[in-house]
Amino acid sequence: MGLSVYNVTKVFRDVRAVDQLTVEIKAGSIFGLLGPNGAGKTTTIRMVLDIIKPDTGSITWKGKPLSRHPRGTYGYLPEDRGLYPKMRVEEHLVFLARLNGLGKKDAVSRTKAMIERFRLEEYRHKRIEELSKGNQQKVQTISALIHEPEIVFLDEPFSGLDPVNADLLKQLLLEGNKQGQTIIFSSHRMEQVEELCRDICIIHHGRLVLSGNLREIKEQIGRQYLHLAVDGDQDFWRKFPELELVGQTAEYMVFKLNHRVDTNAILLAASQAGRVLHFELALPTLNQIFVSKVGEAS
C-alpha cells in the first residue's frame, strides 16, 4: 500500500490540467514524476496534498486521504520557493517544524542538527532576505524534511543547488529512504532522476504516458542504442545505411538501432577501420525515453 492516485481529473477554466490520471506509488520507493513544462505535475502534487480539490477521482495514502493522516505525515518543497523574508533562519525552521507537529524542544534540537548538516551555522541568526537564493533553498529543503515525514514531495529539489549541496541532499534523501521514507520528486534533470529513482512516471498534457520500474521500462524498450568509438577512420559506419547517428558524447557516438541491423557486421567493420575503443549495445537513457515518449504523445 502506498500512494494511490485514481482516475483524477482537474479542469481549470477550459484547460484539462490533469486528465484521468491513475498512478500507483509504492510505499518506500523513490519516485520520479516527470513531464515537460505545464504537464500537470504541480497540479497533481497540490491535489495529493489537498491544497486544491480534484474535480473527479480519489487520492489516498495508505488507504485514506493525506489530510486525514496525523500532522507531519508529509513534507513538501514547492516549485515556487518562498519563506517569510523578515524571519530569522533558525526561528523560521523551528516555526515550520512546530506546524508540522514537532514539540518545541524537538523542533529546536532538530533545527540545530539540520543547520549543522547543511552548513548554515553562520546564517543561523540572519534574516531570510539576507541569504543567497541557494541558501534560501537549503532552508526550505530542510523545512520539508525536518520532521522526518513518511512521504516527501520535492518539486525540482536540485535546481539552484551547487554540486556539493546537491550531493548533501542526495545523501539525505537516500538515508531517509533507507529508513522507509517515500520520496516523490519531479525534475527536468534526467541524470539525477536516473541516479535516484527506481520508479518513474511521465505525464504529458495531464495524461499518463508511461509509468513503472525504470529498469523494467528500459529492458522492455530493449537495447536499441549502439555506443561506438574507434581510433581510426571515423566515417566507416556510413557503409551501413540502416545506422542512424542520434548523438555524440566526448567519448563515443550514439546510434539508434533497428531490427535490420547486424551488429556483428558493424563490429567487424569497426575493427578493420581502427582500434575499437568502445562498443556497447546500450539500453536507452531516461533522457532518450523522455524525449521519444513526449515527442510521440504530442
Q: Interface with another protein by CB under 8 A: which residues? A: 46, 49, 51-52, 71, 74, 76, 78, 80-87, 95-96, 98-100, 140, 143
C-alpha cell at 81: 520557493
Provide, rounded to whole angstroms, the least separation between the CB of residue 63 and another protein.
21
Nearer to another protein, 101 or 247 (CB): 101
Is residue 278 within 8 Å of 248, Cβ to Cβ?
A: no
Residue 80's Cα: distance from chain center in Å?
Answer: 16
| Closest alpha carbon to 30 in 217, 214, 159 | 214
Residues 6+ apart with CB under 8 A from 234: none
Nearer to another protein, 99 or 265 (CB): 99
Nearer to another protein, 71 or 238 (CB): 71
Nearer to another protein, 74 or 252 (CB): 74
Provide, rounded to whole angstroms, the least separation between the CB of residue 72 and another protein.
9
Q: Is 286 strand, coil or helix?
A: helix
In whole angstroms, give the CA distance from residue 118 to residue 141.
10
Nearer to another protein, 95 or 279 (CB): 95
In whole angstroms, give the CA distance from residue 82 to residue 29.
27
Amino acid at 89: V
In whole angstroms, give the CA distance from residue 5 to residue 209.
15
Provide, rounded to whole angstroms, the least separation between the CB of residue 137 and another protein.
12
Alpha helices, H only, 101-213: 104-117, 133-145, 163-178, 190-196
In whole angstroms, give the CA distance from residue 13 to residue 41.
18
In whole angstroms, give the CA distance from residue 25 to residue 7.
14
Nearer to another protein, 48 or 228 (CB): 48
Nearer to another protein, 25 or 94 (CB): 94
Q: Give the Å distances, CA to CA, from 177 to 172, 173, 198.
A: 9, 6, 12
